[in-house]
Amino acid sequence: MADYQMPVLFRTAQVVGITSSAFLAGSIATFSFALIPPLELGPAPLLARQWRLGYHIGSSVNPPIAVLGAASFVYLSWAESQSTLGNVFTTANYFYFAAAALVPAIVPYTLIAMKGINGKLFAKAAMFSQEGDVDEKAREISNDEVDGIHEQEFGAWVWRELL
């Protein structure tokens, strides 16, 4: 009895889908747990500028990888349905389709759910980047304000993990 060999394109799509998902998970975890905590140790103007740079790097790198992963999982869902008799959807189809929807979900989540927090941080970064007669007291971010942002971020993270 000969062993059935999966098509190379199917295996490649699996590798691309899993790898892109792992990259996104690592990128998000790195941003949340490795970038943000050390930023708090510096002065507020530096914190705001570094956060803005980190956000722009993430927003330029992660969405294309999310689309690549989603496309891989869409292909896998379609290919799985074609491999069954009568195009019947199997459990694998549903998992691939769910992955195709969930992998890029961080993009709208960041743009919609995190809009308030990110908007405040962008405003602070813009204020700190302006040269001129800005009063130093007006430039300071109070510890209460930073703690409030952290509580919102932590709450959003917990909510995201529960979904």
Q: Which domain range does residue 130 map to? A: 8-162
Tell me the whole-structure pTM to 2 decimals.
0.72
The pLDDT assigned to 27 comes to 92
What length does the chain have?
163
Nearest to 126 by CA among 56, 51, 49: 49
The pLDDT assigned to 138 comes to 45
The pLDDT assigned to 158 comes to 57
Residue 1 falls within a domain, yes or no?
no
One-letter amino acid of 43: P
Residue 2 falls within a domain, yes or no?
no
CB atoms within 10 A of CB 95: 14
Residue 156 falls within a domain, yes or no?
yes
Based on the number of CB atoms within 10 Å of its own CB, is 114 exposed (0-12), middle (13-18) or buried (19 or more)?
middle
**What are the residue ranges in the chain where pLDDT is below 70?**
1-4, 84-88, 131-163
Cα dihedral: 97, 102, 104, 110 (round 10): 160
Number of domains in the chain: 1
One-letter amino acid of 14: Q
The pLDDT assigned to 137 comes to 47
